[in-house]
Chain A
């Protein structure tokens, strides 16, 4: 290994190891029930972000000086069965796509970490928040730098879990928890599509390396190494995975629900990074999308529908965070359209700009209303409302329908519930009831003791103890 390769290897490893170490430290302290102090958690977080950001910047500078465009960091085979050609290859890639995204992730995570230090000061769930934050930070860095689809999946899952748990951060209220469950369910099902895509890709190319899939060319160049038909199969599965993660149509229903979490997590996950991760995935495999016209049309249509519905929905929301989340969806939809049209650099710049703006807006949201009240007090009247614009030219019944469409969040949750969730639950419950009848019949008596379980045994236990 030459000196420059060693330099890249050391810096690249540090970029990934730093968030991994943070997660290990916070996770270990939680597991042994010895929580760290707020100050320690905060300092560790800042150090982890810094030791991830600085090596990335150093790699970028070195690449610019030397004119390198692609730096693979090979950490070897995590798992390998050579006889069966099964490899879990851990490879990270620094290129024109991953470096901006990693720097963006580090900067925004750093800002939000510093903001949260004060925002959640002396909150009961401070340590829990930062544990999830570290899982997210690790996941997003791994996903951004992943050179193989398996490595990307690893980071992708960490991001999903931390997001769902942070939506349910306010444990004592029912709504955030129900919403967290909803987010997790959508993530799990779309992640299933991702996993199937990864395995299909393995079968087609014999490896999970993105480089192999793109004929070993460097992003943004690259041509797909598989046929148009194969690209359509893998691409469609990846589009489903991306739609779930980026809340694209028809999965947009989870985005407003995610706003139940604390503001810093809303800002960083659903306004800035997590919501763009699906778009990032599509950008990573963009040469694949361009192989198939059908797939390309699918991506453009999905982006357009998501952008239009996001624009409509954001206009009728009464909650500032929800409104901002739908505004995010609009922009993500446009980014997806850009990816579908092959405008890769534009899409990347759009992601970076939009993520920064939305983080700022979401972090500002809690104080915005108070400022509005103060302004109105100063003026002595209401602030001027924006006119509805071009929509006012539409017939009234269409205006009403659009309002209902926006207010009911595009009927997406309702449709998913009616088409999939309710029939599934109904069938499962009827099978459960059938089992009950069979066991009752076999036992010649009511067979389920669990039916008489107390609804709140913890309250009974508490009373008994008292």
Chain B
């Protein structure tokens, strides 16, 4: 296997870990915040370095250039491939802009140490392929939100029930898989457990209640960072896609589509902005799953493209809402707030990121959404149209929220509510990526298509899908 020229992944995981230790000793909140931003920025640059280095190699996968911890893990545990190469900078970016847009008054509630720690776990997760290390990282990642809910004195029952089940299914399924002969149909049983775990983590209906509950009770920043990198989708790609037969994946795609429509419908009737965001995210992330589970090259490419666009735009959308919340507290959508005059930049960014998330023309999600619809209609000619309906409903929800928050009789405040410089930089960075990706989509789409092709080849080399192909061939010969 090829090797990167620098230990990018190792460094990108170790820097936030070191940052978590460093901030632990800083007493002054604003200083801790500044230092956290620096650590997140370095991590983001390292993740970008990994992407550039990987692209320059022009291979499907490469392992890290170990220096510091090669005694700890076997060499091929942390491997970057065409799927994860883009996810590492995307995840690091989500953390960077979230920490950048955090007001120092919020630092007592929003744990910077915990955030840096969870960033390290996330980047390690995205650097891992199917292995016990991945299972362990996915299991460990559920702890941080639990601790936050506990420290805030909130009820953790819903979270514990769902995440307990997730970890049980994940560990049980993966353990069972190790004991099963992968060439036989027996693999379907551990596969079902792993699928259940991944769907739980993704919040697929009816296992989505923990996400809405988390958005209710955790800090907005933590909830955004726990849900927008779409770790559940990553679990599907690593643990389920290689072993599941097409019929099973396409059945899950139908369930994901149902979730997308359901969540989009509920987003419209929400009376509070956080909940609206949560359902919107559920709907969009379900659409990503729809594309990935169609297991057609177009659907897979669409799903991978929408993954990037949802990651970018929903993070941006989330931090915009968070910035507004930081100024006026929870935002009711029952009435108009008239905040446009006070925060025109945030209003513009709210609209831009919201529209980008539904694949509006000239934004990063447009082509991905087109591919996704095309792939869905290919597999399910009628049901696939629901993707279009979902996008329409989400569009209605976004403008509804925009009007409720930014229009109405303006309130005169004695303090400035508009974006601060650090928030503006975060917003501009995301805007540049959203619009840049929308205006010049070809490189991104070509790379995602190549990744889709390679993932399809990997799937085809799996024994279970090979036997499926043989059955399909026999069926064609003897109709």
Residues of A within 8 A of B (CB): 30-33, 77-81, 83-84, 86, 88, 124, 150, 153-154, 157-158, 161, 164, 168, 171-172, 174, 177, 180-181, 184-185, 188-189, 191-192, 195-196, 199-200, 202-203, 424-425, 427-429, 431-432, 435, 438-439, 442-445, 447-450, 453-462, 465-466
Contacts and interface: CB of A to CB of B under 8 A. Distances in A.
B457 interface: no
Nearest to A464: B415
Contact of A150 (B370, B399, B403, B453): B370
B332 A455 contact: yes
B348 A462 contact: no
Contacts of B431: 31
Contacts of B209: 435, 438-439, 442
Interface residues of B, number: 84
Nearest to A153: B361
A144 to B, nearest CB: 16
B271 A86 contact: no
A207 B85 CA distance: 33
A428 B446 CA distance: 39
B269 interface: yes
B312 to A, nearest CB: 16
27 contacts: A31-B345, A31-B348, A31-B431, A33-B345, A81-B445, A81-B446, A88-B370, A154-B362, A168-B403, A174-B336, A181-B396, A184-B396, A189-B392, A429-B269, A431-B262, A432-B270, A435-B212, A439-B213, A442-B161, A449-B330, A450-B274, A454-B330, A458-B337, A460-B328, A461-B328, A461-B413, A466-B414
Given A88-B367, A447-B216, A449-B217, A172 B338 contact: yes
Contact of B344 (A33, A191, A462): A33
Contacts of A456: 332, 335, 337, 411
B336 A188 contact: no
B157 A443 contact: yes
B197 interface: no
A168 B407 contact: yes
Interface string B272-312: 10110000000000000000000001100100000000000
B403 A455 contact: no
Given A435-B212, A439-B209, A184 B414 contact: no
Contacts of B414: 462, 465-466
Interface of B: 155, 157-158, 161, 209, 212-213, 216-217, 262, 265-266, 268-272, 274-275, 297-298, 301, 327-332, 334-342, 344-345, 348-349, 352, 355, 360-362, 367, 370-371, 373-374, 377, 385, 388-389, 391-393, 395-396, 399-400, 403, 406-415, 418-419, 424, 428, 431, 441-442, 445-446, 449, 453
A456 B329 CA distance: 10
Contacts of A424: 265
Contacts of B268: 425, 428
B381 to A, nearest CB: 8
Contact of B158 (A432, A439, A465): A439
A449 B212 CA distance: 11
Contacts of B213: 439, 443, 447
10 residue pairs, one from A and one from B, having the closest CB atoms: A450-B272, A453-B330, A462-B413, A171-B407, A192-B392, A457-B328, A188-B392, A154-B361, A465-B415, A428-B269
A444 B155 contact: yes
A179 B348 CA distance: 20
Given A177-B408, A196-B385, A425-B269, 4 more contacts: A33-B418, A33-B419, A177-B336, A447-B213
Interface of A is mostly: helix
Given A181-B403, A203-B377, A443 B271 contact: no
Contacts of B329: 453-454, 457, 460-461
A33 B262 CA distance: 37
B212 A439 contact: yes
A444 B156 CA distance: 11
Contact of B335 (A81, A158, A438, A455): A455
A27 to B, nearest CB: 9
A428 to B, nearest CB: 4
A458 B339 contact: yes
B301 A81 contact: yes
Contacts of A460: 328-329
Contact of A177 (B275, B332, B403): B403
Contacts of B342: 458
Contacts of A172: 338, 407-410
Given A79-B442, A80-B442, A462 B411 contact: yes
A432 B259 CA distance: 14
Residue among A86, A158, A192, A458 facing the most chain B CB atoms (10 A cut-off): A458
Contacts of B270: 432
A181 B334 contact: no
A453 B408 CA distance: 18
Contacts of A188: 392-393, 395-396
A79 B328 contact: no
